[in-house]
Each structure stands twice: as structure tokens, then as C-alpha cells.
Amino acid sequence: MSALRRVILAAAESTHLQRFVQKYGFRLGAARFVAGETLDDAVPVLRRLNDDGLLTNTTLLGEGVRDEAETRAVVAAYREVLDRIDAEELRTNVALKLTHLGLTIDEDLAQRNLTELVAHAAALGNFVRIDMEESRHVDSTLRIYRHLRESGHENVGAVLQAYLFRSDGDLADLLPLAPSLRIVKGAYLEPAEVAYPGKGDVDVAYVRLMEASLEGGGFTAVATHDEAIIERAISFTRQRGIPNERFQFQMLYGVRPRLQLDLVRRGYDVLVATPYGPDWYRYLMRRLAERPANLLFLLRNLVRD
Ligand SMILES: Cc1cc2nc3c(=O)[nH]c(=O)nc-3n(C[C@H](O)[C@H](O)[C@H](O)COP(=O)(O)OP(=O)(O)OC[C@H]3O[C@@H](n4cnc5c(N)ncnc54)[C@H](O)[C@@H]3O)c2cc1C
């Protein structure tokens, strides 16, 4: 892992820097990656993406919660998001983090909160994706995902991170559920005991995981901006006769927008992950760590004003 990536991911935990960046944030250019600070800001962005032929998901940004009452406020906010998507007839689903629903307070609490939201989404014909966070949360996250699927909830999906050594095994365990899985490289600072430190190894692991998931019978979201991997997914699905309904590409709002539209023109489903909310600092830092050149983009905006 590059030293700069390490520094930026460590800075993601700094409260001093957070205060500074939140203050100047949208001016610095966070708006490139975040659809706004409120749901009202996000709706026209989601609509414009839909009008361009892109599917979308949205996330109310935020990760830590202190007590059960705070998690109830998050659940209420997501219920509102799902209702608004329905009322506005957007082609948008929801992706959320279990820590935002209370995972670090109590696993049962997070599971109850998630179950309520998945049931609400089902009533509206919608879908909820559980993002994957730091490696210490993987066991509990997959336990909760499995519990929901085994209790009859179909409209819920999970994420596997290619950088973790364990992910091949996790995929094999999940395949009997015909899961909806998003495959990502992985965005957090992880120790070498649990994750490949080198990018080349992560890329190889990604392709292995993606192909096993595509062949496994569920639904695969190929979530990457890596063009070589995207082309590999296209040729693999063609060779194996895997229909387009069984997979989609996913990218982040603000990253490779032309590639997103090119894939739509080629007949593939592309979903753009389009988060919003006032609590966008750590999300932004992860986007900077993925491509430190983005730091220059932010600094240029600072100088321009
Ligand atoms: C839809 C979606 C959902 C995700 N969900 C999760 C999750 O639940 N858990 C998790 O750990 N991670 C998640 N990630 C992040 C993921 O793990 C990677 O950190 C991120 O996608 C960058 O890796 P890459 O696959 O694009 O490949 P890379 O090899 O990092 O990048 C390939 C190319 O894409 C472009 N690129 C990549 N990132 C950026 C960027 N930030 N800004 C500008 N250009 C960029 C560059 O041109 C780069 O050369 C998600 C990513 C996507 C797209």
C-alpha cells in the first residue's frame, strides 16, 4: 500500500482535520463526490443520473452512533429516503452501513434496525445493500446478512472485499443463498495479517472473486472503475453465457462519469453510488486515498477562490 494512501486514511480519523475540512468542505470540492448535504439536494442529482440512463443508490453518510436513540433517528431518516424515492419514482435503491444502525453498540440492535428497513423497502418494491466496513465488522455483518436471507428477506444484498484473504471462503459460504453481492477491492486501512498489501495481488483476487460470484448463480455487482477488470467481466459473461440481468456495474458518483455512460450505451446496467448528508468527511477521505491525484483537484479549488 502506498505511503500516501496510508497517511490519508489515517487522516480520516483526525478530528482536527475533520473540523477544518467540514468547514470549507463543499468549496474544497466535496461536491464532486457527494450529492449534497440534504435529501432535497440529492433528489435532483439522482434524477439527472436516472435521466442519463444510470441506476443509482444513495446513502445517508455517517458511521458512528452513540446510543440506540441515535440509531432510531438514522432508521427514521432511511424510511424517509425510501418513501421519497418511491414518491419521486426514482430508479434508486439504498446502501447503508451497519455501524450507522448501531453495530458497535449491539449486534441485535443493528439487526433489528436493518430488518425494519429491509421490510419497509420490500413494501415499496425496493432493495437495501449492506456496505462492508473494516475487517473487524465482517463476521457480524455477514451473520446479519445471512439471518435476514434465512428469514425470508430477498431484497437485501452484501459486499465482499477482494483485499481480504478470507473473502474467497466467505463467498463459498454464501453461494448456497444465491446472494446479491457487490464485489469491491476494499477501501480501509487493514493490517497485512488480514489483507493483501500490494495492489497487484488485490487485482488478481478481485478477478478471482468476481468470476466465482458471476458463475455462482446469484447477482453480482461489479463495483470498480478499473477498465481492465470491467472488460474482463464483459468477456467472461459473454463466454459463459451469463445474461446481463445477472450482473451490473457499479461506480461512485464523480468518478469516471464518461466510462459510466459508455457502458450504458453498450447495453449494460450501471449503478452510480450517490451519497449525501452533512457527515461526509470520512467518505471524502477514502476517495482521496484511492487516488491521491484527487488531492490536487481539491487544492486547486481552494486556490481558485
Ligand atoms: C459502487 C461502489 C461501492 C463500494 N462499496 C464499498 C464497500 O462497501 N466497502 C469498501 O471497503 N469499499 C467499497 N468501495 C470502494 C472500493 O473498495 C475501492 O476503494 C474503490 O472502488 C477504488 O478501487 P477501484 O476498484 O476503482 O480500482 P483502482 O485500481 O483503485 O482504480 C482504478 C482506476 O479508477 C479510477 N479511480 C478509482 N478510484 C478513484 C477515485 N476515488 N477518484 C478518481 N478516480 C478513481 C482511477 O482512474 C484508477 O486508475 C466501493 C466502490 C464502488 C465503486
**74, 113 in Cβ contact below 8 A?**
yes
The stretch 3-21 carries a mean pLDDT of 77
**193, 165 in Cβ contact below 8 A?**
no
Rounded CA separation 173/158 (Å)? 13
Short-list 184, 198, 268, CA closest to 231: 268
pLDDT of residue 16: 74
What is the 3-state secondary structure of 76-127? Answer: HHHHHHHHHHHHCCCCEEEEECHHHHCCCCCHHHHHHHHHHHHHHHHHCCCC
Q: Which of 49, 137, 225, 294 to mutate to test the pocket of ligand 1 (most atoms within 8 A of CB)?
A: 225
What's the gap in Å between 229 CA and the centre of ligand 1? 12
Ligand 1 within 6 A of 159 CB? yes
What is the phi/psi pair of residue 129, to 5°?
-105, 130
Q: What would the grid cell of residue 265 be? A: 450505451
What's the gap in Å between 50 CA and the centre of ligand 1? 21
- pLDDT class for 303, splitting at 50, 70, 90? low
pLDDT of residue 25: 65
Classify strands 219-223 and 92-96 as parallel, antiparallel or unpaired. unpaired
Cα–chain center distance at 84:
20
DSSP state of 245: G
Give me the percent of the chain exceeding a pLDDT of 70.
94
What's the gap in Å between 224 CA and the centre of ligand 1? 5
- pLDDT class for 243, splitting at 50, 70, 90? very high
The stretch 147-166 carries a mean pLDDT of 98
Rounded CA separation 202/190 (Å)? 13
* β-pair partners for 129: 95, 157
At 63-121, the pLDDT tens digits run: 679 999 999 999 999 999 999 999 999 999 999 999 999 999 999 999 999 999 999 99
Ligand 1 within 6 A of 221 CB? no
Question: Does residue 304 register a pLDDT over 60?
Answer: no
Report the sign of the C-alpha dihedral through residues 35, 38, 41, 46, in that order. positive
pLDDT of residue 305: 44
Q: How many CB atoms lie within 10 A of CB 16?
A: 8
Ligand 1 within 6 A of 56 CB? no
Q: Nearest C-alpha to atom 24 of ligand 1 is from which residue? A: 224
Rounded CA separation 227/286 (Å)? 20
What's the gap in Å between 55 CA and the centre of ligand 1? 18
Ligand 1 within 6 A of 184 CB? yes
Classify strands 156-161 and 128-130 as parallel, antiparallel or unpaired. parallel
DSSP code string of 209-234: HHHHHHHTTSEEEEE---HHHHHHHH
pLDDT of residue 76: 98
Rounded CA separation 56/53 (Å)? 10
Question: Does residue 126 register a pLDDT over 60?
Answer: yes
In the chain, the largest separation of any two C-alpha atoms, in whole Å, equals 55
Sequence-ordered strand ranges (E) for the chain: 55-58, 92-96, 128-130, 156-161, 180-184, 219-223, 247-252, 270-273
Chain-wide mean pLDDT for the chain?
93
Count of H-run helices and E-run strands, the chain: 12, 8
- pLDDT class for 285, splitting at 50, 70, 90? confident
At 180-238, the pLDDT tens digits run: 999 999 999 999 999 999 999 999 999 999 999 999 999 999 999 999 999 999 999 99
Indicate the pTM of the whole model.
0.94
Rounded CA separation 271/70 (Å)? 29
Distance between first and last Cα of the chain: 33
Which of the residues are catalytic? 131, 182
Lowest mean pLDDT among 64-68, 97-101, 250-254, 301-305: 301-305
Residue with the bigger pLDDT between 10 and 20: it is 10
User: Of all atoms in ligand 1, which is nearest to the CA of residue 188?
Assistant: 11
Rounded CA separation 260/287 (Å)? 17
At 31-68, the pLDDT tens digits run: 899 999 999 999 999 999 999 999 999 999 986 799 99
